[in-house]
Amino acid sequence: MGRVKLHTRKTNTMLHNVLINGEWRASSGTATFNAVNPATCEPIDGDYPVSPWEEVEQAIEASAAASREMRGWPGERFAAFLEKFADRIEARADELVALANQETALPVSPRLKDGELPRTTDQLRQAASAAREGSWATPTIDTKANIRSMHGPIGPVAVFGPNNFPFAFNSVAGGDFAAAVAAGNPVIAKGHSSHPGTTRLLTEEAFAAAQATSMPTGFVQLIYRTSHDDGCKFVGHADVGAIGYTGSRSAGLRLKEAADRSGNPIYLELSSINPVFILPGALTERSDEIAGDFSGSCLMGTGQFCTNPGMVVLIAGEKTDSFVTAVAEKFSAAPVGTFLSEAVQKGFLSGVSALKDAGAELIVGGEAGGGSGFCCQNTLLKVDGTKFLENPEALQAEAFGNGSLFVIAADAAQAEQIAESLEGNLTGCIYSATDGSDDSVYDQIAPALRTKVGRLLDDKMPTGVAVSSAMNHGGPFPATGHPVFTAVGMPQSIYRYSMLQSYDAIRCHRLPASLRDEAPNETCWRYVDGNWRQGSL
């Protein structure tokens, strides 16, 4: 969502170091950038470097060397690191939260201190548990054919973190990082320009944890930024095993093209409008409650969630008209939050403009201002179902922020057509009556919506993403680059950073511990001759 303003290195300004091959050192690049406090629109002291290609290549070489050194290491080694890292984050929580608040304007409490930071350490510990126990690797044994297989590390992983979660999705502490390490891989973190200082502090603790647990020097590395061309070279490098990316669709697709040319798997989280269908019976039963649920979900965090409900489908009628009016009043009365950056503000206004150009009518908001720093008014638009179906692609433009589009269908059949016309999304939700009066309409819409979303919800807004083993934080394109994988939830998220490794007639003592006749531990589940079991053969 826009470009960070770059400048030439200043001699009188602190330049923060990169971490390459176990050494915090000055970057050899000449271009730098500042973080900006979005609440004040003022730069934060300290410059961060844009790494030139030779520096990126040095990081890749060091990561590849670490990957070779770690071949065959047991999951316990990686579990010990992840747990030590989680402990160190908690010991530095106050400093991390204060800097993240300064760089993102996200509130200290309850968002950063009480929510996101504990979530981050929890998922690191969940990843540690999965790595130690080993069932995630699905050890599979065919005793008759003497063929055995399991998932193992894929090699150096590059993680490109997003702007909106400085802890839980950070390139050096978030879910992608945790999953990559649990699979046994080194990580090169590419920090996000919105919160480079927070990423630097997290990397300091990751590096200290790596040293304390005797990991290779290239196990955790950090660069803050590259040119777009060097970013493409980075993801296409032969020594990179896989890439995790969360961000804009345009940048993600450019990286995907480069990775695909080299055959490197890249896991993308791009854009999602997370449609919510509210059926007539539900409005009759509890219209005020749903209006409150929706307004709270859409405006929470200034709408800067990948699961923000950016589109609501309703069926025309008096109850719908009253609902739209009630939500508009709530949006007008609610305080206006601060965006993460000027680029997010510009992107939101661009998205609103695109929806209006496509035929949507502005109900409320739609202008810059209304709050502190980088901000825009709480915004609602609407369009009728017929017009939506005439131009569905343009009317699914993402306006990332505190806004949403109401689509008013003529009837249930048109609501089903709208569901069929949707692009891929992370989530989709249906609110229906509890007395069964909406069941026939639900049965029309749900099968169509099910194929368009990674997570289907009933009577619940989609904003929260629980760190659960059953969670799917993924979905069909363009929500993600591949509908099979999730970015949240252990052990499922680990598979993205693994490769399936088969052993045919290998002598038992040469096999990985999880594939030998003797079980690696008492709790690891193995698929033996068509049955899941624990214990030794």
Domain boundaries, the chain: 6-269, 275-458
Over residues 368-423, the pLDDT tens digits come to: 999 999 999 999 999 999 999 999 999 999 999 999 999 999 999 999 999 999 99
In this structure, how many other beta carbons lie within 10 angstroms of the beta carbon of residue 31?
Answer: 16
Tokens matching residue 451: 């194929």
Provide the pLDDT confidence category of residue 6 given band limits of 50, 70 and 90: low
What is the average pLDDT score of the chain?
95
CA–CA gap between residue 251 and residue 479 (Å, rounded) = 14
pLDDT more than 90, % of the chain: 96
What is the structure's pLDDT at 3? 47
Active-site option among 205, 269, 398, 416: 269
Select the CATH number that applies to the domain covering 6-269 from these four: 3.40.605.10, 3.40.50.150, 3.40.50.300, 3.20.20.70.
3.40.605.10
Instruction: Report pLDDT digits (tens) over 456-510.
Output: 999 999 998 988 889 999 999 999 999 999 999 999 999 999 999 999 999 999 9
For the ranges 7-16, 185-194, 385-394, 476-485, which has the lowest average pLDDT? 7-16
At 14 the pLDDT is: 86
- Whole-angstrom distance, CA of residue 485 vs CA of residue 476: 10
In the annotation, is 298 catalytic?
no
Q: How far apart are CA 62 and CA 68, in angstroms?
A: 10
- Mean pLDDT confidence for 55-73: 98
As a three-state string, the secondary structure of 163-231 is CCCCCCCCCCCCHHHHHHHHCCCCEEEECCCCCHHHHHHHHHHHHHHHHHCCCCCCCEEEECCCCHHHH
Poorest-confidence range of 55-64, 193-202, 400-409, 479-488? Answer: 479-488
Does 2 score more than 90 pLDDT?
no
List the CATH code of the domain at 275-458: 3.40.309.10
249-298 pLDDT, tens per residue?
999 999 999 999 999 999 999 999 999 999 999 999 999 999 999 999 99
Look at phi and psi of residue 436 and say left if phi exceeds 0, alpha if psi is from -120 to 50, else beta.
left
pLDDT tens per residue, range 32-47: 999 999 999 999 999 9
Rounded to whole angstroms, the Cα distance separating 367 from 164 reads 22
Catalytic residue among 306, 375, 376, 429: 306
Mean pLDDT value across residues 302-308: 94
Which pTM was predicted? 0.94
Buried b (16+ CB within 10 A) or exposed e, 118-154: bbbbebbbbbbbbbbbbbbbbbbbeeeeeebbbbbbb
Please report the pLDDT score of residue 1 as a whole number. Answer: 36
pLDDT for 13: 73
Please indicate whether the domains covering 6-269 and 275-458 agree at the CATH topology level: no
269 is catalytic: yes
Instruction: Specify the pairing of strand 147-153 against strand 498-504.
Output: antiparallel
- Amino acid code (one letter) for 20: I
Q: What is the reported pLDDT for 29?
A: 94
pLDDT confidence tier of residue 150, bands split at 50, 70 and 90:
very high
Mean pLDDT of all residues in 236-253: 96
The residue type of 515 is L
Q: Say how many CA atoms lie within 13 Å of 187 toward its Cβ.
A: 33
